[in-house]
Amino acid sequence: MPGREQALGFATMKYQFLPERVVLGHAEIDFQHEMLFFVITGLHRLVKKGRDEGDCVIDPVHIENAFKLLDDYMATHFSYEEELMRSSGFPEASGHAGLHRKFENSMETFRERFMGVDDNQERAILTKRMLDFFFEWVNTHFAVSDRRFCQFLAAQKGEEPPV
């Protein structure tokens, strides 16, 4: 009988939004990371389209909805990861959770700054900074911190750890 990953098609899944360098070999975590990249890539395309068409109108309702979607999904993802860390005895769980809290605080700061601005140009600048921050953070966090965790999980199972 196939495992959960195989039954859901994760074992052979090719990711459309998740860069290969941050694919970790843990089906559920990679799937959740893919969804995060999907949300933020959609927001990036929305902002880029406006700039390319010379229309720098950044609708605060769309951005607020994107922040809400991102916040909700990040909370779900962080909760999943942190519970898995606790249940597996990952020795770096506390520090890793601290990185999650720092990220959440940074995103809340971006949200507050964005919602306090009425100028479309300033909104566009803030949105770009937020996107740059997000891409930098997840690329670093996924590639380093989450990779260490997935290596720990693989070692526990006697599997080959992700490179």
Q: What is the pLDDT of residue 98?
A: 97
3-state secondary structure of 76: helix
Q: Is residue 3 part of a domain?
A: no
What share of the chain has pLDDT > 70, as a percent?
81
Domain with 75, as residue range(s), is: 29-48+56-157
pLDDT (tens digit, 9 = 90+) per residue, 62-92?
777 878 888 898 999 999 999 999 999 999 9
What is the amino acid identity at position 139? N
Average per-residue pLDDT for the chain: 81
Give the contacts of 153 (CB within 8 A, at least 6 positions apart). Answer: 26, 84, 88, 90
Task: Report pLDDT digits (tens) over 89-126.
Answer: 999 999 999 999 999 999 889 888 888 888 877 877 88
Amino acid identity at 130: M
- Written as one letter, the residue type at 61 is V
pLDDT class for 53, splitting at 50, 70, 90?
A: low
Residue 52: per-residue pLDDT: 53
Tokens of 111: 């949200």
pLDDT top residue among 5 and 104: 104
Vertex 77, ends 76 and 82: CA angle to 5°?
Answer: 100
The total of structural domains in the chain comes to 1
Domain-located, residue 16? no
Q: Is residue 121 part of a domain?
A: yes
**For the chain, what's the residue count?**
163
pLDDT at position 76 is 95
In a domain, 98, yes or no: yes
What's the confidence (pLDDT) of residue 10?
A: 43
151, part of any domain: yes
> Has residue 81 been placed in a domain?
yes
pTM for the structure as a whole: 0.80
Residue 162 lies in a domain: no
pLDDT digits (tens, 9 = 90+) for 9-38: 444 456 677 888 888 989 899 999 988 888
Binned at pLDDT 50, 70 and 90, residue 2 comes out as very low
Which CATH number covers residue 143? Answer: 1.20.120.50
110: how many CB neighbours lie within 10 A of its CB? Answer: 19
